[in-house]
Amino acid sequence: MFSLLLAIIYLAFISLGLPDALLGSAWPTMFKEFGVPVSYAGGISMVIAAGTIISSLQSDRLTRKFGTGKVTAISVALTASALFGFSLSHSFWMLCLWAIPYGLGAGGVDASLNNYVALHYASRHMSWLHCMWGVGASLGPYVMAYALNGGNRWNMGYNYIALIQVVLTAVLLFSLPLWKNNHRNKIEEGSNTNGKPLSLQEIIKIPGAKEIMVTFFCYCALEQTAALWASSYLVLYRGLSSETAAGFASLFFIGITVGRAASGFLTIKVNDTQMIRLGQSLIFVGILSLLLPFGEATSLLGLVMIGLGCAPIYPCIIHSTPSLFGVDKSQAIIGVQMAAAYLGTLMMPPIFGLIVNYSNVSLFPVYLGAILFMMVLMHEALLKKKQENEILV
């Protein structure tokens, strides 16, 4: 039954990645239909991000009260309803309205499911599960393209993904006894779900909490800034064609997906801290490659290395949380980590956009380097606190 539950979690990660790229792939059609500027996609993304931050911060309270299985099932159902709402929307304000339950559902699943995997499974599964999320996120645009190429409107693409989410909700509901049985084991019993939920002020006061929040903020800021601005950097500064730049930029995502698949095998012999440091080192090499004045080859190498470096950091930070802070605090810490991650995604790529407006896009590697420096600084400070026994496990 334990293996069956793990298979369901793998399925959940694939399915949860499916909607994440839908808005981007459908927006060129949607914004014309709604008669709004193309930039309005950012408004929808901000509403979704705000919802994810709120639900992430509430994940400790909800998981203690209802358990991971129920929180995951309800959150996926909320996401499915939001996707159906998107498909029925006929105005921009309706999209913004349905973006609220979408964000709340996505954040709830992210925080609860990641904590559950961190508590119950080896680090390799965390890496492979996030690799499966990448597979789902990659398949989402193909589902939308299938709908559009079949003569349907963008609404049908959202309907297809919503139906998949409904099926996943049903699977999760039927699997609740499996979650309940596993819930009784000694890892969670008396620690993760019993007791009083921690407030945000109490969580922040935990030694190391601020450091791990800033580390996660920096990681997601770096990943999303690279994803959003890599093509612009290659076109506007390196002089590549738009087609070539798009192909190069895609290597960043390929690097993350392939890197997470490989990381799963490496974690059998290498611990989470070593994997995080390895990832940070690869990102540093990638940034240096972008700075070298040797044309397309170094740009190609740089983006691949940054993608490969990003691969192990996210899953290994999450997986290391119970060992750093204890299983009784892991859900609370992972909740604020996720909130910090979404905040980094929300803030830092637009800030670089402002820098480009007032300076130029050549600062792209420097900006990534500054974020990386802060990430390394905060992660090492976290490890130092653990060594000094300031974090009580």
Predicted pLDDT at 2: 53
Predicted pLDDT at 305: 92
> pLDDT digit string (tens) for 197-250?
778 788 888 888 999 999 999 999 998 888 878 877 887 888 777 667 766 666
Distance, first Cα to last Cα, the chain: 30
Residues 213 and 174 in one domain: no
Domain count, the chain: 2
Residues 286 and 332 in one domain: yes
Residues 270 and 339 in one domain: yes
Residues 153 and 217 in one domain: no
Residues 160 and 297 in one domain: no
Residue 393 placed within a domain: no
> pLDDT digit string (tens) for 346-374?
888 888 888 887 888 889 999 999 999 99
Q: What CATH number did the domain enclosing 69 receive?
A: 1.20.1250.20
Distance between CA atoms of 177 and 144, rounded to whole angstroms? Answer: 34
With 70 as the cut, is the pLDDT of residue 188 above it?
no
> pLDDT digit string (tens) for 45-88?
888 888 888 888 888 888 888 888 888 999 999 999 999 999 99
Smallest CA-to-CA distance from 199 within 343, 52, 340, 335 is with 335
> pLDDT digit string (tens) for 242-288?
667 766 666 777 888 889 889 889 988 889 999 999 999 999 999 99
Predicted pLDDT at 243: 64
> pLDDT digit string (tens) for 11-50?
888 887 888 778 877 887 888 888 888 778 778 888 888 8
Residues 223 and 105 in one domain: no
Distance between CA atoms of 139 and 76, rounded to whole angstroms? Answer: 18
Whether the model pTM is above 0.85: no
Residues 167 and 210 in one domain: no
pLDDT, the chain, mean: 84
Residues 24 and 157 in one domain: yes
Residue 189 placed within a domain: no
Mark out the alpha helices in 150-186 (DSSP H runs).
154-174, 176-183
With 80 as the cut, is the pLDDT of residue 296 above it?
no
Residues 314 and 362 in one domain: yes
Cβ count near 110 (within 10 Å): 25
When pLDDT is averaged across residues 378-392 and rounded to a whole number, the result is 78
Predicted pLDDT at 253: 76
Q: Is 22 helix (H, G, I), strand (E, B) or coil?
A: helix
Q: Is 78 helix (H, G, I), strand (E, B) or coil?
A: helix
Tell me how far CA of residue 263 lies from CA of 125, 126, 130, 256, 258, in angstroms.
Answer: 10, 10, 11, 10, 9
Residue 245 placed within a domain: yes
Residues 348 and 224 in one domain: yes
Residue ranges making up the domain that contains 54: 2-179
With 50 as the cut, is the pLDDT of residue 1 above it?
no
User: Of 146, 179, 212, which residue constitutes the final position of a domain?
Assistant: 179
User: Of 179, 194, 222, which residue constitutes the final position of a domain?
Assistant: 179
Distance between CA atoms of 68 and 59, rounded to whole angstroms? Answer: 9
Residues 217 and 168 in one domain: no
Residues 220 and 174 in one domain: no
